[in-house]
Amino acid sequence: MSVIVSPSLLAADFMNLGKDVEMVNRSKADWIHLDIMDGVFVPNISYGLPVVSQIKKIARKPLDVHLMIVQPERYVGFGMTVQDKNAPDLLTIHLEASTHLHRTLQQIKALGMKAGVALNPHTPVSLLEDIIQDIDVVLIMSVNPGFGGQSFIEHSLEKVKKLKALIQATHSHTLIEIDGGVNFETGRELVAAGANALVAGSFVFKSEDPEATIAGLKNLKTE
């Protein structure tokens, strides 16, 4: 099975966002990763729901929305369901930002979306022991969230292995997605460790040929 590739538009050209979405549409990418930051949970502000709605109109790949915001339960509905054309396909919230994680995951799924849980670099995988079976995708942050272009934190590989063991031990169907500092080198190691999906921002959009870079990531085979 090939790895799922989810280019992060955080590194795209915001003056020509439509052009970059079209590039991802043409490419071998599987998902489109959208980073929403509130300036509170992370020390940066990116873009918000109106931008997601506009992207959804032209995207021909599922939207993989990563909420880096406090109290994500206030926004999971977006006031709409997946039947509405503006909703994401996968909605990921941070464990550190969610007091009632179980309830919020059920709310996301009730709206017809896949539910993801992101872990900051310091957050142990073991905190998912009693919730793993309710999670469609775990997003392991391999940088501190808030900015693109940071260096990969090597310890993330250990977390991928631990998470894979937990998923297998509990017979869960959860996918493992990694976000931050992904390139061909770290991507290869991540796939070998058990990652199912790779987010890549600057490595894709700052490369000379983003479509070819996406194809290269797609070729990093899983076993």
Q: Which residues bind ligand DX5 (CB under 6 A)?
A: 8, 10-11, 33, 35, 66, 143, 145-146, 148-150, 179-182, 199-203
> What is the nearest approach in angstroms of ligand DX5 to the Cβ of residue 56?
18
> What is the nearest approach in angstroms of ligand DX5 to the Cβ of residue 168?
26
Given 35, 38, 64, 136, the catalytic residue: 35
| The two structure tokens encoding residue 166 | 């937990």
The strand pairing partners of 200, in sequence order, are 7
Alpha-carbon Rg of the chain, whole angstroms? 16
Q: Which is nearer to ligand DX5, 172 or 190 (CB)?
A: 190
Residue 201 binding result from Zn ion, ligand DX5, none, given CB thresholds of 5 to 8 Å by partner type: ligand DX5
> What is the nearest approach in angstroms of ligand DX5 to the Cβ of residue 200?
5
Q: Which is nearer to ligand DX5, 67 or 135 (CB)?
A: 67
182 in Cβ contact with 151 (< 8 Å): no
Residue 197 binding result from ligand DX5, Zn ion, none, given CB thresholds of 5 to 8 Å by partner type: none
30 included as an active-site residue: no
3-state secondary structure the chain: CECEEEEEHHHCCHHHHHHHHHHHHHCCCCCEEEEEEECCCCCCECCCHHHHHHHHHHCCCCEEEEEECCCHHHCCCCCCCCCCCCCCCEEEEEHHHCCCHHHHHHHHHHCCCEEEEEECCCCCHHHHCCCHHHCCEEEEECCCCCCCCCCCCCCHHHHHHHHHHHHHHCCCCCEEEEECCCCHHHHHHHHHHCCCEEEECHHHHCCCCHHHHHHHHHCCECC
> What is the nearest approach in angstroms of ligand DX5 to the Cβ of residue 63?
13
Residue nearest to ligand DX5 (CB): 201
Touching Zn ion, residues 153-192 (CB under 5 A): 179
Q: Please report, for residues 1, 68, 92, the alpha-carbon distance to residue 175 in angstroms, rounded to integers and kept in the order given.
A: 13, 19, 12
Q: Considering only 18-26, 49-57, 59-67, 96-104, which stretch makes contact with Zn ion by CB under 5 A?
A: 59-67
> What is the nearest approach in angstroms of Zn ion to the Cβ of residue 148?
9
Site string for Zn ion, 100-139 (x = CB under 5 A): ----------------------------------------
35 included as an active-site residue: yes
- Binding interface with Zn ion (CB under 5 A): 35, 66, 179
Q: Which residues are catalytic?
A: 35, 179
